[in-house]
Structure 1
């Protein structure tokens, strides 16, 4: 047995939320996953260390160990966009407006209280006045805290189906279904995912296109108008992108990352999913097509913003809010500031 008694004792605190039946299924899927990756060059010992490292890292970076980098971006009419790079996983985007807060992607469930303490320390209030929450896709680092906010989150119906299926490989057969399922259970459980049973769905019928991406809906909040684009499903089924033309904001979710701006610790943590599954994208070729198309569109939109004396701000799923440099590469829009729980 690959998942021996010692290993199971070490991960026991992380899998505590699982029922006895779920735990038995998790262990069985772990056994198969170990064997699959061993055949691909990762030793059982190294693979299981990756699994344990998720729990160790999330525990180390929660509570007193919580730290982040953040950017504060002034928008029009008294609005501010606060983009928080969480210590593990994707960015938390907080719109501070006279009408209350909008949240775009929520981070892990285990970081919710830390994030609220952080925005309080930054004199941005708390989460009690959140009026609108949007989740771009079904990975735990983008929707895992959505059940804590005081409003029903909005997501693509495929995202909700994916969450109910228990695997990020839902609707994307790629021959790695067991690996996808074991990783999904690991990350959802260890990070204490909390997604409400009832969510609101965005529309899915195309009403136009932006390059290769169907425009499927629009959201309004404060005086902002967001276009909602359907992804091609390269990273995960049901992923959406959002574009706000007046403020010049393009939210690319995990189709575009500014990996170079991640700290070494965050970059190392981010690599765990690739190592456990083989690729964090359910379809790597489609993901490459999406990246190229988003960068092409971004270049066009940036020219439009330049004509108005502004720049297109590319809000990646991970890493700093960026602009395109002279070579068309992502470059931080501003120098991220540092926050640590023990500094406030």
Structure 2
């Protein structure tokens, strides 16, 4: 929309004329002076008339054309009408002037510096040919990537950055993604947040994943030999949740899978540790529906076991499904965004845990059991604090608690991992859909760990707490303490 008085009123007038109800409007000159977001409820017939009339006056944006950025100096004659004559050429070319600077009393009294945003086409070449034939011209910068576009076309620049992360996508999809990003920016601005930090955090989420995959992938690795025939591996990737492998002579069980974007790197890493034969994976157990814990599950042919609520979260693409936060704009967009950037691969072979049997461990109902060699794991139903459907795995005899994201040794996380995790905390304000229940879960799990430690004391063994992030830990004086040796895997070699 033109940045002129009455533009907002004119659009609202057209929407009202055809009985559309405006549910949301957002405009902030600090973000983009020419873009306004409306969400409108209307009948199909009214919607067609509204969009037709908005399109006829040039208000409706239905595409996201890539732009070139051109910065140059032109030397104008010192005469009446020289600037007017020059601007005629830029106007005819359809150029949007982002910056212009001229002062005949400055150091360069005959030099005009101009930055232009132009739609990518032969127009750029034609404009330059026209200007070169009339003026002395120095090209300072010509960028076709969108990296140097200024904030007068903020959403175009943002869309190009998103395209860079996910590859070419249709305009309809990108416009929908921009509307979602704008909506969470509006929500967080109402809470006092800087809108530019919102957009930067969205991009940083995807950019960090991409920057830590491929040749830049690494992981911190722990291995625990519990018996002669039973080993547990913990792999901490650069971003997101840990992946665990329970290794026995007859089968392997995978607990959580990391992001989908890391899958090729994870498979190379597992091969390095002698765990690359996926045919030996009898089952994959998913603790909860966040992409960093199950986003690669669809790459495996093994059956994937999960809670029914976890399956519904994946289906609805909303991590707050089934919680008191289910209608949260922040949660819904964050799920959609992180699933997109992380290349979430939905599994086909899904099997759900059973219903509660009546048995409990502390405050948690036991909803299933699994065996891997001589290891028996109980599946404990969580309270829905971090997400609905999050489960925990427990073995009293072997002293194991897979605590998912309810118990995390934050002190063990590197700055890079902590910085990445803070992006999610900022964008959804809390990574837990119900903070009160999340606190209950954490207290109960740590109490269960201490109880198990006491039961194992005579054998000299400890209860290992395998959190969803950070290192495998044990309880020491009521706090989590890193346990065992940690090695770094990087670029196909461990150090």
TM-score bucket of the superposed structures, by smaller chain: over 0.9
Matched, 1:99 2:262: no
Equivalent residue number for residue 10 of structure 2: none
1:60 to 207, 211, 219: 211
- Residue of structure 2 in register with 1:80 after alignment: 231
Correspondence for 1:341 = 491
Task: Determine which structure has more spread, i.e. the larger CA radius of gyration.
Answer: 2
Equivalent in the alignment of 2:471? 320
Alignment check: 8 A CA contact 1:26 1:185 kept: no
Q: Provide the residue aligned with 2:201 in structure 1.
A: 50
1:332 corresponds to = 482
Counting only pairs closer than 5 Å after superposition, residues 271-290 of structure 1 correspond to structure 2 as 271-290=422-441
Gaps of 5+ in 1: none
Aligned residues: 343
- Specify the alignment match of 1:147 in structure 2: 298
CA–CA distance in structure 2, aligned partners of residues 206 and 246 of structure 1: 20
Tell me what 1:116 maps to: 267
Describe the superposition over 1:98-141 as per-residue Cα deviations: whole angstroms up to 9, x where unpaired.
11321001110111111111122223344342111100000001
Q: Which residue of 2 aligns with 1:267?
A: 418
Q: Which has the higher contact order (CA 8 A, sep 6+)?
A: 1
CA separation in 2, counterparts of 1:26 and 1:254?
Answer: 28
5+ long unaligned stretches in structure 2: 1-26, 32-153
SS in 2 for 1:13: helix
Residue aligning to 2:159: 8
> How far, CA to CA, are the matches of 1:20 and 1:75 in structure 2?
54
Provide the residue aligned with 2:325 in structure 1.
174
Cα distance in 2 between the residues matched to 1:242 and 1:12 = 39
Out of 135-144 and 32-41, give the one that drifted further: 32-41
State how far apart, in whole Å, the 2-side matches of 1:80 and 1:267 are. 28
Change (3 A) 1:18 1:256: farther
Question: What CA distance in whole angstroms lies between the structure 2 residues aligned with 1:181 and 1:125?
Answer: 35
Aligned partners of 2:251 and 2:372 also within 8 Å: no
- TM-score, normalised to structure 1's length? 0.95
Change (3 A) 1:173 1:28: farther
Question: How do 1:90-239 and structure 2 match up within 5 A?
Answer: 90-174=241-325, 177-239=328-390
| Runs of 4 or more above 6 Å deviation | none
Compute the displacement of 1:206 (Å).
Answer: 3.6
The one-character-per-residue Cα deviations of 1:257-277 (angstroms, maximum 9, x if unpaired) are: 011111110111011111001
Does structure 2 retain, via aligned residues, the 8 Å contact 1:144–1:195?
A: yes
**Residues 94, 103 of structure 1: 8 Å contact kept:** yes
Corresponding residue number in structure 2 for 1:292: 443
Superposition TM-score, scaled by structure 2 size: 0.67
